[in-house]
Chain A
Amino acid sequence: MRITQGCFSFLPDLTDDQILTQVQYCLEQGWAVNLEYTDDPHPRNTYWEMWGLPMFDLKDAKGVLIELTKCRELHGDKYIRLSGFDSSHGCESIRISFIVNRPANEDGFRLERVEGRGRQQHYATRSYSLDRPEGTRYA
């Protein structure tokens, strides 16, 4: 099941050239670009691992692509997302976020039914990848 979150996720994956164009736009707006990765793609998992610090003061998107390439070398079997943080007063938040890498096999989520008090039904979505230990989830 293809994960869709953030911008562009209903489009085919962006090519590196398209990523460069998006990043250049972010830099021109003065946003700090950040890379994060995870092997737990549950939509409620907001805290992904950071790939280094957010990148401030870049003029050209190539610098970000260099980092993305290195991140893919190490975490190519995981989800990687790229975000642009706008620090200007009144925003101080993420302006853009999109997936730039995904595992070859996205095995998706299952629905789990849990009985609570009084046999009340609760539902949870759980990614199949979480059945396997960290580091081997998409390997």
Chain B
Amino acid sequence: MTDQPTPAKVNLAEEFDRSGVGPVLKQLDDELIGLTPVKQRIREIAALLLVDRVRQKFGLSAEAPTLHMSFTGNPGTGKTTVASRMSEILHKLGYVRRGHLVSVTRDDLVGQYIGHTAPKTKEILKKAMGGVLFIDEAYYLYKAENERDYGQEAIEILLQVMENNRDDLVVILAGYADKMDKFFQSNPGFRSRVAHHIDFPDYKDAELLAIAEGMLTKLHYKLSPEARRALSEYIPIRRGQSHFANARSMRNAIDRARLRQANRCFEARQEIDLDALVTIEAEDIRRSRVFAQAG
């Protein structure tokens, strides 16, 4: 675009620094525990975009790569969290113009009567221009058992925009792996437009413990050594029970532990110091229903 002379050499490290993407990637690394394969893929995408930019400086024609993605993984594995970082990363790398995230589900796209869907979907797409459109549980757009379902209309508009407005927005489809697989099978249009399939693995027990501790630190709490042991016993038991949702289950466990801690402090009816206020004790964890159900 600019008429700068073609440089003889480009320093990739400098280019990387200038993009400002380094701190975002680092933050991603620091704040999100585990997720190694996900982080690896994101770094690869960042490298691709960076090299692409440099290639442009050498005048090599570079049609912008397709960056529509799908995030698959079980509940609470960090899909939404990573998507919001993704928009920032793509913005820093100059791939999207604004870097905001518009997060929607079927309800936001699909209408309730004839003629309602197209304006609704287009409204959302307008808002997502220049940023990332995150469609959570994307498979609900497609109802195999009902061919007149209005979801089909939303799908067709999406497919068109994903093709024609590739440099205006990035679409990320998210959901549970098995349902997403089925969704892609019955919608080859989506499959061919999504270039990156990123799988979010379940967290290991140690990772969940680290995630829980990270959440507590952010809230200015800490675990006593006994409580820490209790929590590490809690995690495998909780995993075996129904509605387990990885990091989100940790968040819920913490919220309930805080309730019990507050109640314990209150019931004691005596003066307490700062240390007592910030410490979660073993009993705050062990009184959980999860242990009771384990028998």
A-facing residues in B145-173 (Cβ within 8 Å): 165, 168
How far does the alpha carbon of A136 sit from the alpha carbon of B129 in the complex, in Å? 35
How far does the alpha carbon of A63 sit from the alpha carbon of B126 in the complex, in Å? 4
Residue of A nearest to B97 (CB): A60
B10 to chain A, nearest CB (A): 28
B-facing residues in A27-70 (Cβ within 8 Å): 55, 57-64, 66-67
Q: Within the complex, which residue of B122, B125, B129 is in contact with A59, where a contact is CB–CB below 8 Å?
A: B129
- Which of the listed residues B122, B129, B131, B165 has the most CB atoms from chain A within 10 Å of its own CB? B129
Interface check B264, CB cutoff 8 A = no
B-facing residues in A58-90 (Cβ within 8 Å): 58-64, 66-67
How far does the alpha carbon of A58 sit from the alpha carbon of B168 in the complex, in Å? 13
Interface check B130, CB cutoff 8 A = yes
Interface check B239, CB cutoff 8 A = no
Residue of A nearest to B122 (CB): A66
How far does the alpha carbon of A10 sit from the alpha carbon of B130 in the complex, in Å? 31
Mark contacts of A80-118 with chain B using CB atoms, 8 A cut-off: 1 yes-contact digit, 0 otherwise.
000000000000000000000000000000000000000
Interface check B127, CB cutoff 8 A = yes
How far does the alpha carbon of A64 sit from the alpha carbon of B127 in the complex, in Å? 10
In the complex, what residues of A have CB within 8 A of residue B127's CB? 57-59, 63
A60 to chain B, nearest CB (A): 3
Residue of A nearest to B161 (CB): A66
How far does the alpha carbon of A55 sit from the alpha carbon of B122 in the complex, in Å? 12
Interface check B238, CB cutoff 8 A = no
B148 to chain A, nearest CB (A): 26
Interface check B286, CB cutoff 8 A = no
How far does the alpha carbon of A117 sit from the alpha carbon of B4 in the complex, in Å? 73
Can you show 25 pairs from A to B with CB atoms below 8 A apart?
Answer: A58-B126, A58-B127, A58-B129, A59-B98, A59-B100, A59-B127, A59-B130, A59-B131, A60-B97, A60-B129, A60-B130, A60-B131, A60-B168, A61-B129, A62-B97, A62-B129, A62-B130, A62-B165, A63-B126, A63-B127, A63-B129, A64-B126, A66-B122, A66-B129, A67-B126
Interface residues of B (CB under 8 A from A): 97-98, 100, 122, 125-127, 129-131, 165, 168
Interface residues of A (CB under 8 A from B): 55, 57-64, 66-67
Q: A59-B129, A60-B130, A62-B129 are in contact. List 12 more A-B contacts (CB 8 A).
A: A55-B126, A58-B126, A58-B129, A59-B98, A59-B127, A59-B130, A59-B131, A62-B165, A63-B129, A64-B126, A66-B129, A67-B126
